Amino acid sequence: MNACDLAATFGTANPRLVAQTAVAEIWRVEQADGTPAALKRWHRPEMGNEGGGIALAEAVAGQGMVQVLARGENSVLMEWLEGPPLGDLVRSGDDEAATIALAATAHRLHGVRLSRPVQLSSLRRWYRALFELRFTAEARPLTRSLMREAATLALKLLESQTTQRPLHGDLHHDNIHRTARGDIAFDAKGLLGDPAFEYANAFRNPVGAEALMRHPATIRARADIFATTCGVPRQRLLQWAATKCALSIAWRAEGRLTRDRELDLLAQLLRMARDG
């Protein structure tokens, strides 16, 4: 089905492609009253690991998260988020303001009473790729050591979860837009687990601020702000950050790891997690 036909099935028109990724395409479309909306279609017949995120967004009903207007098997119509991402604040030099806004968004989402029950993937299942990772013969001893340390730490964190709640699961600066109705998150994965995990991916974002996110002062400042907001010890936040970095490395390796561009960041996060 072409874009025009797909748009028509949702009662919209004039699709304009605005993003294309390895898993989906997104168009800006016009609703019957002329209001813009975002139309997303996955390449596969289903939504894959983002299906839980769409279900969570429906249950959140627009409270700090993008509103779902309609959905199909592998497509969804959502409100159009007009406004810049929080990542622009970081890239323009105000990481503190962006971090405070991200923390506030997460705190708001965690306080929402869901309008319906939703089935969400557990964090333990989410981390499976890290636990099943293997190494090629060319992988350096340090690479193996770092990833094994992260896997051991992840298991410790999973086994020590005392509170589990619905999570966005991929909350970072470029997944929050500053709109007329406030800071709004989108592209949720929809997970169930430790609320402290929610902040983990922010430590390795946004794109375009790679040097900044690796600086110990930035990592400490972000951890302090998140700890104050969510009431979780800074060390646990840094531990989740390190294991999420390792998980992303494992995903990119697709089962067998030789090297990765974020191994230096992983080493830094593990070092700071040990120190607390």
Give catalytic residue positions: 170
**Alpha-carbon gap, residue 84 to 81, rounded angstroms:** 9
Token pair recorded at residue 266: 């992983």
**Alpha-carbon gap, residue 189 to 169, rounded angstroms:** 5
φ and ψ of 165, to 5 deg = -145, 165
**Alpha-carbon gap, residue 168 to 166, rounded angstroms:** 7
**Alpha-carbon gap, residue 259 to 81, rounded angstroms:** 37
Q: Give the gyration radius of the chain's Cα atoms.
A: 19
SS3 content of the chain, % helix, strand, coil (to 5): 50, 20, 30
User: What is the length of the chain?
Assistant: 276
Strand residues in the chain grouped as ranges (E): 13-20, 24-30, 36-42, 68-71, 75-79, 121-122, 134-135, 165-167, 176-179, 182-185, 191-193, 256-257
Token pair recorded at residue 62: 């627009």
Token pair recorded at residue 231: 């009431």
